[in-house]
């Protein structure tokens, strides 16, 4: 929107509203859960997920979709930075069925302030394979899944860049649990993984490590999918439509403040 409309200082919310106004009336465009707009006639994706979501979009039930919940740790936030750890929590039919985790040699030093945050040091990763050594396995694990992450744009960018270095291309549908929390849990004042996990009473086993963050995100995803189902958002198309709507946070009530202060009870174990 900044480029097309030549507006230098355009806020994200304003850009989203402009894109919605310009593109939503045209049937050839569709907005994905990640917030990005795309042509409906996308190239086929591995595992047939794109075929399912495009040809049966109105009736594809969320309970039939497999989600690959991804978290990466990196040497920094720049495009030239590299992955030091990746985890994928597979969610299928309302349960976490597997959590994969792998340290990755970034082929460059890890800054000390990053090691202080993630507790991942060069000595820990130097004998592990670089990303190109696990790229085929990662592609297989993502195939046929909805790529899901907390702030999905970050993880998608890093995994996509690493894949591109091997000559492969990352593609497929995406779901951002930050956007999901914004739409389904509007009473939350902040939507970091810490705040979302605390709201649902989820303990993060190893913050800023890929496996702990991926599993916590997967558990939050399951709780929010239950909220979506309770609200009648039982299909992918309905969920996409909900995420496309501008969110309006209502007034904070006493009940909302209590929910923020105390975690929700965990009534089910969604692990395998």
Give domain limits for the chain.
1-31, 41-261
* pLDDT single digits (tens) 7-23: 777 777 777 778 777 87
In this prediction, residue 253 carries a pLDDT of 55
Q: Average pLDDT, stretch 213-238?
A: 94
Residues 18 and 5: beta-carbon distance below 8 Å: yes
Residue 237, pLDDT above cutoff 60: yes
Q: Does the domain at residues 41-261 carry the CATH identifier 3.40.50.20?
A: no
Residues in CB range of 62: below 8 A, 6 or more apart:
225, 228, 229, 233, 234, 235, 236, 239
Q: Average pLDDT, stretch 124-150?
A: 96
* pLDDT single digits (tens) 22-76: 877 676 777 665 566 777 654 333 444 554 454 444 457 888 899 999 999 999 9
37-41, 79-83, 127-131 — which is least confidently predicted?
A: 37-41
- What percent of the chain is predicted at pLDDT more than 70? 79
Length of the chain: 272
Task: Provide the sign of the torsion angle of the four alpha carbons 20, 189, 155, 64, taken in this order.
Answer: negative
Residues 163 and 85: beta-carbon distance below 8 Å: no
Q: Which two tokens stand for residue 15?
A: 């850009």
């Amino acid at each position: 929107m900044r480029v097309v409309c030549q507006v230098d200082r355009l806020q994200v919310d304003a850009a989203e509203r402009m894109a919605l106004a310009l593109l939503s009336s045209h049937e050839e465009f569709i907005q994905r859960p990640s917030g990005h707009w795309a042509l409906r006639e996308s190239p086929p994706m591995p595992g047939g997920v794109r075929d399912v979501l495009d040809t049966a979009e109105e009736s594809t039930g969320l309970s039939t979709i497999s989600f690959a919940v991804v978290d990466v740790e990196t040497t920094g936030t720049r495009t030239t930075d590299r992955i030091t750890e990746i985890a994928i929590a597979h969610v299928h039919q309302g349960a976490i069925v597997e959590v994969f985790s792998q340290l990755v040699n970034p082929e460059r030093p890890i800054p000390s302030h990053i090691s202080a945050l993630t507790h991942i040091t060069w000595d820990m990763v130097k004998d592990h394979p670089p990303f190109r050594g696990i790229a085929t396995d990662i592609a297989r694990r993502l195939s046929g899944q909805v790529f899901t992450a907390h702030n999905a744009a970050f993880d998608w960018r890093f995994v996509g860049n690493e894949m591109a270095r091997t000559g492969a291309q990352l593609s497929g549908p995406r779901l951002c649990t930050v956007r999901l929390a914004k739409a389904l849990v509007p009473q939350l004042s902040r939507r970091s993984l810490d705040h979302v996990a605390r709201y649902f009473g989820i303990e993060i086993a190893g913050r800023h490590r890929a496996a702990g963050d991926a599993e916590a995100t997967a558990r939050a995803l399951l709780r929010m999918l239950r909220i979506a189902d309770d609200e009648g958002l039982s299909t992918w198309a309905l969920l996409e439509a909900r995420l496309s709507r501008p969110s309006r946070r209502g007034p904070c009530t006493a009940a909302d403040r209590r929910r923020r202060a105390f975690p929700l009870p965990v009534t089910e174990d969604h692990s395998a």
